[in-house]
Amino acid sequence: MVKAIQIGLGAWGFSWSKDVIPKVPNVEMVGFVDTNPDAAARVQTELGIDPKLCFTSLDDAASRAGASLALCTLRTEAHYPVVKRCLELGYHVLVEKPFTTTIAQGKELVALAKAQGKLLMVSQNYRHQPAPIAAANLVASGKFGPMSMVSVDFRRHGPTQGYRYWDMPDPLLADMSIHHFDLMRFVLGDEPKRLSARTWNPPGSPFQFDPTGVVTIEFARGTVVTYRASWMSAQPVTPWAGEWVMDGAEGVISWSSRDHFRDQRGPDRLGLRVLDGPEEAVPLDTIEFADRVGTLHTMARVIETGVQPVGFSSGEDNLGSLAMVQASILSASRGGDWVETAEVIG
């Protein structure tokens, strides 16, 4: 059993406290930290958390709670200083995405975790779903040969579907696309070489910055991914992980994931189509610990066993996904010019 503290009890942090943590059997919560007394009062009254487990400072919790894992569920700009302090205090750390706002900060935290001999994991929860796991296994096994062309589509209509962050810079590329970029790396088992991005703000949009974009990504082994995404689409919404069509030398793998997290409440799906043949649906394995529950359970298991599974989203691994975000933003600022990921990640 891994003893843990949670830092950050705001709206998203409360969701972790209510919907995620109770479903992870190998984690024992021994502390909840937030500087806002109202946030602490909410977990106490609505979730029955013992007031003795609530702290107003990280250092206070560190001196009294006796945890080995820190779960950081704060706003993005607070990730870097809080994660850094957690590592300095000797915690393993699981942090929400994106784990830093710059590559330099990310590299610093990765180096600090190594120096401290601690695990740093980013909660890339989209990896913990049946369809992308199955797709990654198929690609790794060489099903249909090398992947030539992949298309990914993500569509939502923010004004009618509960979006709130109208003044967020880069609401598509910085907030949402890291999930899809990370899935590209995970499923293809490959790293991007360069990309070109164009973004825009449609007429009548309530967004202050661009909510719509198209990105073309070239991967090291030759796969080209076309990514089309929008918070202002009038078309039918996609599952949160998007709709994927992966064109191989001998056939097509198509899949979608996290549909049960939107209004449709549908399962993940995956289909295979041999060259010139009909598509056949593939039954998917059930995931006992899925989504955010999966990231927390996996982190605890790695602490317990010392064994990192395939696809473990360490801070070091996640630098590749963060680099795709930074490179796409840079390319969009240059009007779609190609940007080498090496230019961003160094």
Same-domain pairing of 280 and 150: yes
Same-domain pairing of 132 and 111: no
Tell me, what DSSP letter sits at residue 266?
Answer: P
What span, in angstroms and rounded, lies between the C-alpha atoms of 33 and 49?
12
pLDDT for the residue 114? 98
User: Please, are residues 140 and 323 in contact by the beta-carbon 8 Å criterion?
Assistant: no
Residue 346 counted as domain residue: no
Residue 309 counted as domain residue: no
Residue 251 counted as domain residue: yes
Number of domain units in the chain: 2
Please say which residue of 98, 118, 138 terminates a domain: 118
Same-domain pairing of 146 and 9: no
Please say which residue of 95, 118, 141 terminates a domain: 118
Same-domain pairing of 64 and 165: no
Same-domain pairing of 276 and 165: yes
pLDDT for the residue 262? 59
Same-domain pairing of 189 and 335: yes
Residue 151 counted as domain residue: yes
User: Please, are residues 318 and 182 in contact by the beta-carbon 8 Å criterion?
Assistant: yes
Residue 335 counted as domain residue: yes
Q: Between 177-188 and 130-141, two packed helices, what is the crossing angle to 10 degrees?
A: 40
Vertex 81: Cα angle to 78 and 85 (nearest 5): 130
Same-domain pairing of 136 and 113: no
Same-domain pairing of 195 and 335: yes
Paired with 29 in beta bridges are: 4
Tell me, what DSSP letter sits at residue 341?
Answer: H
Same-domain pairing of 143 and 277: yes
Q: In 3D, which of 250, 270, 266 has the Cα closest to residue 258?
A: 266
Q: Between 315-333 and 177-188, two packed helices, what is the crossing angle to 10 degrees?
A: 120
Residue 210 half-sphere exposure toward CB, CA atoms < 13 A: 17
User: Please, are residues 297 and 125 in contact by the beta-carbon 8 Å criterion?
Assistant: no
Burial pattern 22-57, b for ≥16 Cβ within 10 A else e, equals ebbeebebbbbbbeeeebbebbeeeeebeeebbbee
Estimate the share of the chain in helix, then strand, then coil, as percent rounded to the nearest 5. 40, 25, 35
Q: At 127, list the tokens.
A: 């990896």
pTM, 2 dp: 0.96
Same-domain pairing of 42 and 175: no
Residue 314 counted as domain residue: no
Residue 38 counted as domain residue: yes
pLDDT for the residue 27? 98
Write out the DSSP string of 8-60: --SHHHHHIIIIIGGG-TTEEEEEEE-S-HHHHHHHHHHH---GGGEESSHHH
Indicate which CATH number applies to the domain containing 187. 3.30.360.10
Indicate which CATH number applies to the domain containing 76. 3.40.50.720
Give residue 281's domain range.
Answer: 127-287+323-340
Query: Which residues of the chain, if any, have pLDDT below 50?
Result: none
Same-domain pairing of 165 and 213: yes
What span, in angstroms and rounded, lies between the C-alpha atoms of 199 and 333?
9
Paired with 233 in beta bridges are: none
Same-domain pairing of 282 and 161: yes
pLDDT for the residue 267? 87
Residue 292 counted as domain residue: no
Q: How many beta carbons lie within 10 A of that of residue 231, not counting itself?
A: 26
pLDDT for the residue 163? 84
Please say which residue of 52, 83, 118 terminates a domain: 118
